[in-house]
């Protein structure tokens, strides 16, 4: 009995200790971590198609032709016509040439009139220059058909104006100035189906022109049309050479394919660095980009062995993807789903358009009505931050494909045939639709798409807003160009948008409307400094002797704990006394 009372006494003490501990309630909120969610699969569907009179063999160009902030699609066809379409696929106009066209259009504002011109070759021997209003600016006649070769546009001789380079079936390469006059031509040993690439290959301050010929040679010409070197293959060259610094060593490499089934890599002096043998002839042009974010470039090219190849900068095969038929299409590369990884889009003569991830895994395919030799273009046509895919087909249709399962698209590095609408076949490392060579023409930064950090891309500054891409405040009134356009709706090229005698900056600071000439500061703007506030020292009160100052602020949690302790101790003491008295009895 005494032992039972003893254990009862201990139990009471333990119970009191347990009750006296404050209780901590934990509330757990389960959140969906976006990093744990699997990305949605990219899907594809038909947005619209546009039908022409005869089969499509060319690659369209996408640009803001009239610089009104909306995109146009420029298309050439076998029905003799150059078409301008709006972003929904409706025809704006067409211009009729003398024969069919397989040449892909290049676009550039060569005369600084605030709109772009279209350059394209035709089977009627002519190189055409058409303006945005469907008017002929000029036409230059070569000595033969212009079939698959497309124009390249750049300032070759550093005279401040652009030149256009194109090949012809008369074995010649032509350089024509922006007024349509010949600057030079160079004769090769065969027809020219390849398109030219342009770059300062040897870092001597002048441009070189590189182009392949059906005589099996790749030619490197100076800016005045003299031969610097040539490289001979056992086959013929239809593939257009692409230019890039593959290994990030400061020197450019030249990449192209030939009908001997090899992909060649040459250094800037025309010496072979490596080649890769494939199973069959190579007709498409390579695309160059950093697919795996390792600061070196990969080469993407298809062949007649039905495979798309991804090669490292050293010429090793990283992966291949097999289609049902041979591949005559060049690849377009962009981040379609904004996951910081690039996707590859290309077509095969099995009538399908394919999309692969950066590791060569199949994401989707879309079946066309016939085969295609054209290449896809990736562009955001309607400004909704979602990319569309355009491709022409021998079933007479231009297809516009939409993407599902994505919320927005990311950057692009090789968005079309030739990388950009200028067809220089140089990389676009900052994904601003200006290839790296064209950036050098405008003196912008090829690795920063906003060279002056004013929230406007270099491309939009040059072609859309006509602001200075090297000055973040084009009108020098104190507001950034991006602020003027997107915050205040003022003109970044006019320091006083509403012509009321006060600059936009002054009106913004004064709180008046810089867009309303009737609302302007009435008096000079003065800045009133805030009143000086003097804080007196704290008042000290001395309490009389014997007065105790007690802090009356006790937290609720502490009060509960203290009360629990007192009650438990009192209860325990009472029980102990009762037990003790009973034992005495």
pLDDT tens string 306-345: 999 999 999 999 999 999 999 999 999 999 999 999 999 9
> Which residue, 521, 538, 554, sits at the end of a domain?
521
Q: What are the tens digits of pLDDT across the range 217-264? A: 999 999 999 999 999 999 999 999 999 999 999 999 999 999 999 999
Same domain membership, residue 177 and residue 49: yes
Same domain membership, residue 379 and residue 513: no
Residue 576 has what pLDDT?
Answer: 55
551 in any annotated domain: no
Same domain membership, residue 479 and residue 405: no
Average pLDDT, the chain: 86
460 in any annotated domain: no
- Walk across the sheet containing 362-367 and list its strands: 362-367, 352-356, 343-347, 332-334, 412-414
C-alpha pair distances (Å), 52 with each of 24, 75, 401: 75, 10, 17
Same domain membership, residue 512 and residue 396: no
Question: Could you tell me the pLDDT band of residue 300, with boundaries at 50, 70 and 90?
Answer: very high
Query: Using an 8 Å Cβ cutoff, are 20 and 561 in contact?
Result: yes
Helices 2-20 and 556-584 meet at what angle, rounded to 10?
A: 170
Average pLDDT over residues 279-296: 94
243 in any annotated domain: yes
> Which residue, 414, 439, 456, sits at the end of a domain?
414
pLDDT at 398 over 80: yes
Residue 43 has what pLDDT?
Answer: 95
Name which of 169-178, 207-216, 260-269, 575-584 the model is least confident about.
Answer: 575-584
The number of domains in the chain is 2
pLDDT at 14 over 60: no
Q: Nearest to residue 420, comparing CAs of 379, 471, 455?
A: 379
Which residue range(s) make up the domain with 393?
43-414
163 in any annotated domain: yes
Task: Report d(CA 428, CA 410) in Å as an integer.
Answer: 14
Residue 21 has what pLDDT?
Answer: 41
In three-state secondary structure terms, 474 is coil
pLDDT at 373 over 90: yes
Question: Could you tell me the pLDDT band of residue 301, with boundaries at 50, 70 and 90?
Answer: very high
Same domain membership, residue 96 and residue 190: yes
How big is the CA angle at 312 (ends 215 and 104), to the nearest 5 degrees?
45
Residue 324 has what pLDDT?
Answer: 92
Q: What are the tens digits of pLDDT across the range 30-89? A: 333 333 334 568 999 999 999 999 989 999 999 998 888 889 999 999 999 999 999 999
Same domain membership, residue 483 and residue 409: no
In three-state secondary structure terms, 3 is helix
Same domain membership, residue 202 and residue 343: yes
Q: What are the tens digits of pLDDT across the range 412-463? A: 889 999 999 999 999 898 888 888 888 988 899 988 999 999 999 998 898 7
20 in any annotated domain: no
Same domain membership, residue 232 and residue 162: yes
Q: What are the tens digits of pLDDT across the range 81-124? A: 999 999 999 999 999 999 999 999 999 988 878 789 999 999 99
Q: Nearest to residue 334, comparing CAs of 383, 300, 307?
A: 300
pLDDT at 28 over 60: no
> Which residue, 496, 521, 546, sits at the end of a domain?
521
558 in any annotated domain: no
Task: Report d(CA 391, CA 97) in Å as an integer.
Answer: 22
Q: Nearest to residue 393, comparing CAs of 322, 328, 332, 331?
A: 328
Same domain membership, residue 147 and residue 287: yes
Q: What are the tens digits of pLDDT across the range 175-206? A: 999 999 999 999 999 999 999 999 999 888 89
Residue 11 has what pLDDT?
Answer: 44
Read off the tokens for 272.
Answer: 């072979």
Using a cut of 0.75, tell me whether the model's pTM lies above it.
Answer: yes
Average pLDDT over residues 490-494: 95
Q: Nearest to residue 233, comparing CAs of 247, 219, 253?
A: 219
419 in any annotated domain: no
467 in any annotated domain: no
Average pLDDT over residues 458-470: 87
Residue-wise over 473-486: b if at least 16 C-beta within 10 A, else e? bbbebebbbbbbbe
HEC string of 330-347 equals CCEEECCCCCCCCEEEEE
Q: What is the CATH number of the domain that holds 167?
A: 2.130.10.10
Residue 572 has what pLDDT?
Answer: 54
Higher-confidence residue of 493 and 115: namely: 493
Interacting residues of 325 by C-beta distance below 8 A, sequence separation 6+: 306, 348, 349, 350, 371
Same domain membership, residue 488 and residue 404: no
Residue 532 has what pLDDT?
Answer: 55
Same domain membership, residue 211 and residue 69: yes
pLDDT at 509 over 90: yes
pLDDT at 562 over 90: no
Same domain membership, residue 481 and residue 407: no
């Amino acid at each position: 009995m005494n032992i039972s009372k003893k254990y009862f006494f201990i139990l009471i003490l333990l119970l009191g200790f347990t009750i006296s501990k404050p209780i901590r309630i934990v509330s757990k909120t389960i959140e969906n971590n976006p990093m744990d969610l699997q990305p949605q699969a990219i899907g594809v569907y038909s947005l619209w198609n546009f039908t022409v009179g005869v089969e499509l063999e060319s690659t369209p160009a996408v640009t803001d032709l009239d610089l009104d902030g909306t995109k146009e699609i420029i298309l050439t066809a076998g029905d003799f016509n150059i078409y301008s379409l709006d972003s929904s696929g409706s025809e704006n106009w067409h211009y009729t040439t003398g024969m069919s066209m397989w040449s892909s259009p290049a676009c550039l504002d060569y005369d600084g009139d605030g709109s772009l011109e279209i350059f394209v070759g035709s089977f009627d021997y002519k190189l055409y220059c058409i303006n945005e209003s469907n008017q002929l600016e000029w036409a230059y006649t070569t000595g033969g058909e212009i079939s698959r070769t497309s124009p390249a546009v750049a300032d070759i001789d550093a005279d401040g104006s652009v030149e256009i380079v194109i090949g012809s079936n008369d074995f010649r390469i032509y350089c024509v100035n922006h007024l349509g006059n010949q600057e030079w031509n160079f004769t090769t040993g065969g027809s020219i189906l390849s398109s030219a690439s342009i770059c300062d290959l040897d870092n001597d301050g002048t441009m070189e022109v590189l182009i392949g010929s059906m005589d099996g040679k790749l030619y490197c010409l100076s800016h005045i049309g003299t031969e610097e070197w040539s490289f001979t293959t056992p086959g013929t060259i239809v593939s257009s050479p692409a230019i890039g610094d593959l290994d990030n060593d400061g020197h450019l490499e030249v990449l192209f394919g030939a009908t001997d089934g090899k992909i060649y890599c040459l250094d800037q002096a025309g010496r072979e660095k490596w080649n890769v043998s494939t199973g069959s002839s190579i007709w498409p042009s390579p695309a160059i980009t950093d697919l795996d974010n390792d600061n070196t470039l990969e080469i993407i090219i298809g062949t007649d062995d039905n495979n798309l190849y991804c090669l490292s900068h050293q010429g090793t095969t990283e992966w291949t993807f097999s289609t049902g038929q041979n591949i005559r299409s060049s690849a377009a590369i962009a981040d379609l789903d904004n996951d910081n990884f690039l996707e590859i889009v290309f077509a095969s003569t099995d009538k399908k358009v394919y999309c692969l991830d950066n590791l060569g895994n199949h994401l989707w395919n879309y079946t066309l009505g016939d085969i295609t030799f054209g290449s896809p273009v990736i562009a955001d046509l309607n400004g909704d931050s979602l990319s569309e895919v355009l491709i022409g087909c021998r079933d007479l249709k231009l297809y516009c494909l939409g993407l599902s399962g994505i919320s927005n698209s990311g950057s692009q590095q090789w968005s079309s045939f030739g990388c950009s609408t200028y067809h220089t076949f140089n990389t676009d490392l900052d994904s601003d639709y200006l290839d790296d060579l064209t950036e050098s023409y405008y003196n912008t930064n090829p690795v920063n798409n906003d060279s002056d950090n004013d929230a406007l891309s270099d491309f939009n500054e040059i072609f859309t807003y006509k602001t200075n891409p090297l000055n973040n405040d084009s009108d020098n009134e104190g507001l950034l160009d991006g602020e003027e356009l997107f915050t205040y709706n003022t003109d970044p090229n006019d320091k006083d948008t509403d012509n009321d005698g006060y600059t936009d900056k002054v009106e913004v600071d004064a709180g008046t409307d810089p867009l309303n000439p009737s609302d302007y500061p009435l008096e000079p703007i003065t800045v009133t400094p805030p009143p000086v506030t003097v804080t007196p020292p704290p008042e000290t009160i001395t309490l009389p002797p014997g007065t105790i100052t007690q802090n009356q602020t006790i937290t609720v949690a502490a009060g509960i704990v203290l009360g629990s302790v007192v009650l438990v101790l009192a209860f325990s003491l009472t029980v102990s006394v009762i037990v003790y008295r009973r034992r005495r009895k």
